[in-house]
Every structure is written in structure tokens, then in C-alpha cells.
Structure 1
Amino acid sequence: AQAAPAGPIAAELDRAFAHRLAALVERVTASFEEFDFAHALQDTEAFFWNDFTDTFLELAKGRAHAGDPSAVAALRLGLGVLLRLFAPVLPYITEEVWSWAFAEEAGHASIHAAPWPGAREFDPISAPAEPASFEAAVGCLAAINKRKSEAGVSVGRAVVRLALTASPATLSCLGPVAADVMAAARVAAYALQPRAGLDGAFEVVEVEFAPLET
């Protein structure tokens, strides 16, 4: 995916991720300005694991591998920003990754000479249509993976058919990113069934796993 051309960040999931990343930059910048280095690192680490590697990377990698410019751009934005947020406290490893991933493109051989992340990187990106679409995608993928775990199959097991239920409001948030979730969960066909009272949660009501490949 790194060799694929990056383009405008246009897909709903990618815009929702960028929106969360911009909020992280604001929080971490404020922490550094207040000399609260521990909180800056804690916030960046939590985002790196919970929002980037465990979720967005899993949700977007299929499109990125297929060469989708929006997914490639969003993943590179995420990595480039997170490297710079980590750089003050992890100077050596961030310098190494920056040198082979971003130095030539950014025009700064050292990450420590590169500009700090800021609004200029996020202003061209439109806000997501559904502000909570990223959270909905994360919750939906977690519900599917939980059902796979309960059934004793791997999270990579393909699904022939799946039925999910959630509140109408939650399904509305999921709608623009549902295809990304189902691709990440390897779901071939799915149905979304509204049900009141679930308060943001997803529930798998029917699932048919694909036969194991031999």
C-alpha cells in the first residue's frame, strides 16, 4: 500500500479517522505546552493502539492493498502524524521509521526538523457525514469478532451470512462505513436490523460461517 498513490481523503471512514486524529493532535499539543509529557505520551499511545493499529488499520487495509487513494492517504497521514507526536519521547525509533517512510516526501531528512502536526494537514479534509461513524465501525467490528470468538473460530474466518441488530440511530451512523466493516470481518452478505433499547451496542443475531478452506 505504501507504493500506491495517495489521493484526497474522501471516504467516510477515512474522514472520520482524520477527524479523531486532528482532535488527538490538539490534545497532545496542549499537553506538551503545559509540560505534561506523561499525559501526552499516554494519550498518543492509547490512540496508536486503540484507534490506529487495532481498528483503523484493520478496517482500511483492504482498500489500501487494492490501491484506494483515500485509504492510502489516510493511513500515511495517521502514521506520519503519530510518528511526530511520539518523536519527543521516542526519538530514535521515530527517526528510523521517518527516514524510510517520509523523509524524502516531506523534504526533511530528520523527523526532529519536520513541522509539528497542525491544522494545515487537516483543513483540506472534509468532516465526516456522520460524526460517530468511526465509533460505530469499531463497535460493529468488535461485536462480530466477539461472536467469532464465542463460536471458537478465528477472527479471520469468512462469514457467508450475518444479521446484526442495533438502535436506529446507531445503524444510521454505521451505514456509511458498513462496507468497510464487513470487508474487514470477511462477511459476504449481511442484514442490519433496527431495534430500540440497545443504546449504541451491536448484537449479532444470526451468523453462518464459511467452511474451512482446505
Structure 2
Amino acid sequence: MFENIIIELLVEETKLHNDEVENLLETPPRLEMGDFSFPCFRFTNPEKDDLMWKDVEHDFFKRKNPVDIAKHFTDQINNRKLPKEIERVMAVGPYVNFFLNKKILAQKIIKIGNNFGKGKENRKILVEYASPNSNKPLHLGHLRNMALGESMSRIFEFMGNKVIRTNINNDRGMGVIKAMLMYKKFGKNKTPESEKMKSDHFVG
């Protein structure tokens, strides 16, 4: 919603098309620089045969640097009554930066509620986590991976994806086969507890 309002303002001033403005919009690197940023580098000496600029007044931009162009667009936008969703517009070097009305933004977020930020990506994603080694005890690293894996799975689901969680029981391979064979031949029904040993040391 807010982005569309900014795009409409820029389309009217720059004479570019909606998709062209949308592709140029950026997010400023710091919060104090605003919420949306429009770079003006590409307006410097545009080529007449460039379809992107076919409706732009080429003569106006000749021999002007992007800082002056950004100030020009900013002045033009500020000369009109800004939509209530936009708090202010300012030129920051070669960029036209837009600051959103935080009160209106907060009201929109509250109205959306728990669905705020929810996506519609509709991908199928496999997330594999934990997968402990059956010859070793669980440790803090496994707990960390469980928390990370489940957190990522829920985020992916919230973005509209179908998530398949998998946990490989790592009880296969030559290492496990050798451990089982040696225990069968030499274990004598002993356990890590009876021998007062860590389970991985006992298996070793």
C-alpha cells in the first residue's frame, strides 16, 4: 500500500512507468534515512533511444548531476500536498528519500494482526534438523539445531510454504555396523551405566 503511493508520486514526476519506478526503489541503509529511497543516477544524460526514458524530458537532465536531479524531484513532490501516509520527502545526496507516517503504519499493522508479513510463496521446502548420532549422547549443539530448525520451519510456513520436517536417525553406516558387531561379540551385556562410562566412550 505505502509503496504503491510512493510509486504513483514518482511516476507523475519522473514520467517513468510503474514497473520502472518499482525496480529502482530501494531500502535505505539506515533508519534515519527513511523507509524508501529512489536513486537518480540513471537520469544523468539519458539516451534518447533508451525505451526507459521515452517519455522523459531529456533536455532537462542534460549536464545535471544526480544530486541536483534528486533535489528537483524532491522539490516538485513537496510542492504538492503529500498523501497522509507519507510524513515527509527529502533529498539525501543523489536519492529521493521517503519517510512513512509511523502512526498510520502502526494502525495498519494492528489491523492486520497476526497475518502481518504473511506471504504466499507456495514452495515446498525440506528442513532437516537434529539428526543425532545414535552412538553419541545428545548435547547442547543438538538442542541449538533443534531450536534453529523448528524456528526456520515456522518462518517458512508463515511465508506461505509447505514445510516437510525430517530427522534422520543416524543409525546406519559402517561405523554403526562395526559397533553393533563388536558389542555382540565382546559386550557381555555391559552398559555405559554399569561401566560408569560415557556412551560414546563405551562404544569406542
Query: TM-score, normalised to structure 1's length?
Result: 0.25
Larger radius of gyration: 2
TM-score by length of 2: 0.26
Q: Which has the higher helix share?
A: 1
